[in-house]
Amino acid sequence: DAKTTQPPSMDCAEGRAANLPCNHSTVSGNEYVYWYRQIHSQGPQYIIHGLKNNETNEMASLIITEDRKSSTLILPHATLRDTAVYYCIVLAPNSGNTPLVFGKGTRLSVIA
Amino acid sequence: DTEVTQTPKHLVMGMTNKKSLKCEQHMGHRAMYWYKQKAKKPPELMFVYSYEKLSINESVPSRFSPECPNSSLLNLHLHALQPEDSALYLCASSQESPGEQYFGPGTRLTVT
């Protein structure tokens, strides 16, 4: 079973920041938070991951609360191409090629 | 090269046919995965290969038979499938960080 809770859908205006929340209140100390997205009819795409510090890369920023029970993925300037289902996943890396367990994710619609 | 390729892109087969799906990666990853995704649902893990050995089989029916001929290739042999097996079949690979998986575009399978 997925160990995360996400809103089923969100809208965002093009050019604005998209903030996607994720609740993972049962996260263990060695589990990281990973974000993937899946654009329609494509395979999932890795976005970013983190343990407890905030992380940023060319795609997005990840903000993790101090108690690690929730996080927010931020797409700073959303474009129409960011319309996708976004999955938040927690797992411990280096744990024997642990498979990803996808929850239902958040369907983000970026609107022109 | 951060690409995972899958062939064919689309496949239509009858319930008595035998077919194979192929997946290839040249990133030196030592773990490869098969996922199944039904319409409007998240991907579900089927098999994990680690160092060319089957490490996880998520109770998949025997009409699906995986094969890992070498570290770059992963096959999924299909035989006597049912219409409910129609889905998008995704291949993925990973190296040190199991959560950072690279996915192929998938094969959309229709069983008639």
Say if B34 is an interface residue toward chain A (CB within 8 Å).
no
Per-residue pLDDT reduced to its tens digit, B74-97: 999 999 999 999 999 999 999 865
Q: Which residue of A has its CA nearest to B97?
A: A93
Lay out the sheet containing A32-38: strands in order across.
A9-13, A106-111, A84-91, A32-38, A45-50
Residues of chain B with C-beta less than 8 angstroms from the C-beta of A95: 98
> CA–CA separation, A23 vs B59, rounded Å?
29
Say which amino acid occupies A87: Y
Residues of chain B with C-beta less than 8 angstroms from the C-beta of A103: 42
Say if B66 is an interface residue toward chain A (CB within 8 Å).
no
CA proximity to A60, closest of A24, A111, A20, A102: A20
Per-residue pLDDT reduced to its tens digit, B40-74: 999 999 999 988 999 888 889 999 999 999 999 99
Name the residue with tokens 């042999």.
B77
